[in-house]
Amino acid sequence: MKLSVIASALLATFVAARPEPILQIRQTSVGFDFATTKVRGVNIGGWLVLEPWITPSLWGRWASRPAAGPVDEYNLCRVLGRPVCQAELRRHWNSWILQNDFNIIKSYGLNTVRIPIGYWAFTLNPGDPYVQGQVVYLDRAISWARAAGLKVWIDLHGAPGGQNGFDNSGLRDKIGFLQGNTAAQMLAVIKKVADKYTQPQYRDTVVVIEVLNEPMGPKLDWNKLRQFTYDGWGIVRRGGPTWVAYSDAFLPLTKWNGLLAPSNKALIDKHRYQVFSEGEVSRNYWQQFDSACSARWEFKGSNKYVVVGEWSAAMTDCARWLNGWNRGARYDGTFQSSRAYGSCNDKGDVDRMTEAQRLDLRRFIEAQLDSYETTNGWIFWTYKTEPGNRSDDWSYSKLVSKGIMPNPPTHRRFPKPCG
């Protein structure tokens, strides 16, 4: 399909994509040079897309009976009903992130914020229980970022039907994306986003639009996923010079080598965690450290600009509800059929760590930073989490406050930790 007709043919069937298309667009620039400047940033998680483990207080009415609670934003709004859900989320949107947070992020020596937002913020499909209003806060965030001197990466974090089965897609345990007309629905959302945020008044601040976060590539039709990615890229690029990010979809980076290139203003978003399998949580400290050091080799062979768009300081999955509402952890054997490797009681709380443990965690972070600096940059997940839920190793702000996260991120207590 030629990209010149995509916008008027979103409901058309998928056909083979050309690898090096020519777009008739105005070749002006955005306010970031990915070839010469590293992306160094944080995700604003748990704000415009809910995740129970980041803000468990929103699930507080089910704290004593978690089995009865909704597992994701879709079901939260379904159970509460739109009026109550709207009121509760508006309170959350108004309080979780404020303008001063962007000043704080800038003070950390960072240059980018990645802001997740779901498709439902832009359109509601029949039967959707979601509420809207998030776009007002996205626009505020863009103005706050501009005032602070930060760049914004708009991350479309949830697709119709659910693209990965995770609660961060809005709909847990379902993967219905690319079935029926869901791809066309998502492309229509991308067009709404691109029509607005690629305009000249945003180009100094909104430098990337990500067409979809973490589609579950191994469980999706590759040809359809590839075509969707290509079509989404084309829609954004027709709007102007804004860069387009797309997920590696949990597939080898080299699998994407035939689709687009830096000259097409396309970059690939690689997420890297070390806690979501038994093999990972069973490692001792030095095995986790070695894995962080060897991460740089995972990026070899890609012909794309690569940004590690999500990573954390966690070495266990002990953060409360990290694996999903009412689900335990692999590390302590409370998640499904996993065996226990230790207790979660002393994990994820930096206030309870010894000085030696804090130094170990900093060394682990610096090893990751050194690996990710071999790419075009990185964005930590996430800026902050609610305290008291074993999730400090996911909170950039908490780690900085305790001297565990380098501030600025180029500072090293362990020069060349990987040798």
If we measure between CA atoms, which residue out of 98, 111, 88 comes closest to residue 33?
111
Q: What pLDDT was estimated at residue 1? A: 37
Residue 37 lies in a domain: yes
Report the alpha-carbon distance of residue 95 to residue 113 in Å, rounded: 18
Let me know: does 399 contact 353? Beta carbons within 8 Å: no
Let me know: does 177 contact 159? Beta carbons within 8 Å: yes
Q: What pLDDT was estimated at residue 26? A: 43
Which structural domain range is residue 120 located in? 30-401
- Phi/psi at 170 (nearest 5 deg)? 95, -25
**Is the N-terminal amide bond of 112 cis, ω within 30° of 0?**
no
Let me know: does 405 contact 399? Beta carbons within 8 Å: yes
Q: Is 393 exposed, middle or buried (0-12, 13-18, 19+ CB in 10 A)?
A: buried
Report the alpha-carbon distance of residue 178 to residue 276 in Å, rounded: 25
Is the Cα dihedral 374, 105, 198, 125 positive or negative? positive
Report pTM.
0.93
Residue 409 lies in a domain: no
- Phi/psi at 308 (nearest 5 deg)? -80, 90
Which of these is catalytic: 73, 214, 280, 298?
214
Q: What's the structural domain count of the chain?
A: 1
Residue 412 lies in a domain: no
Residue 180 lies in a domain: yes
Residue 67 lies in a domain: yes
Residue 11 lies in a domain: no
Let me know: does 271 contact 309? Beta carbons within 8 Å: yes
Q: What pLDDT was estimated at residue 30? A: 82
Q: What pLDDT was estimated at residue 3? A: 35
How many CB atoms are located within 10 Å of the residue 306 CB? 22
Let me know: does 313 contact 365? Beta carbons within 8 Å: yes
Which of these is catalytic: 51, 73, 280, 310?
310
Residue 25 lies in a domain: no
Residue 332 lies in a domain: yes
Which residues touch 130 (CB under 8 Å, ≥6 apart)?
A: 73, 74, 77, 118, 120, 124, 170
Assign residue 40 the CATH number of its domain: 3.20.20.80
Tokens for 127, please give them.
């039967």
Tokens for 362, please give them.
């900093």
Q: What pLDDT was estimated at residue 13? A: 37
Let me know: does 242 contact 209? Beta carbons within 8 Å: yes
pLDDT in tens, the chain (419 residues): 333 333 334 333 333 344 434 344 444 578 899 999 999 999 999 999 999 999 999 999 999 999 999 999 999 999 999 999 999 999 999 999 999 999 999 999 999 999 999 999 999 999 999 999 999 999 999 999 999 999 999 999 999 999 999 999 999 999 999 999 999 999 999 999 999 999 999 999 999 999 999 999 999 999 999 999 999 999 999 999 999 999 999 999 999 999 999 999 999 999 999 999 999 999 999 999 999 999 999 999 999 999 999 999 999 999 999 999 999 999 999 998 889 999 999 999 999 999 999 999 999 999 999 999 999 999 999 999 999 999 999 999 999 999 999 999 999 999 999 98
Q: Write the secondary structure of the chain as one string of H (helix), E (strand) and C (coil).
A: CCHHHCCCCCCCCCCCCCCCCCCCCCCCCCCCCCCCCCEEEEECCCCCCCCCCCCHHHHHHHCCCHHHCCCCHHHHHHHHCHHHHHHHHHHHHHHHCCHHHHHHHHHCCCCEEEEEEEHHHCCCCCCCCCCCCHHHHHHHHHHHHHHHCCEEEEEEEECCCCCCCCHHHCCCCCCCCCCCCHHHHHHHHHHHHHHHHCCHHHCCCEEEEECCCCCCHHHCCHHHHHHHHHHHHHHHHHHCCCEEEEECCCCCHHHHCCCCCHHHCEEEEEECCCCCCHHHHCCCHHHHHHHHHHHHHHHCCCCCEEEEEECCCCCCCCCCCCCCCCCCCCCECCCCCCCECCCCCCCCCHHHCCHHHHHHHHHHHHHHHHHHCCCCEEEECCCCCCCCCCCHHHCHHHHHHCCCCCCCCCCCCCCCCCC
Which residues touch 22 (CB under 8 Å, ≥6 apart)?
A: none
Q: Is 281 exposed, middle or buried (0-12, 13-18, 19+ CB in 10 A)?
A: buried
Catalytic, 373? Answer no
Catalytic, 214? Answer yes
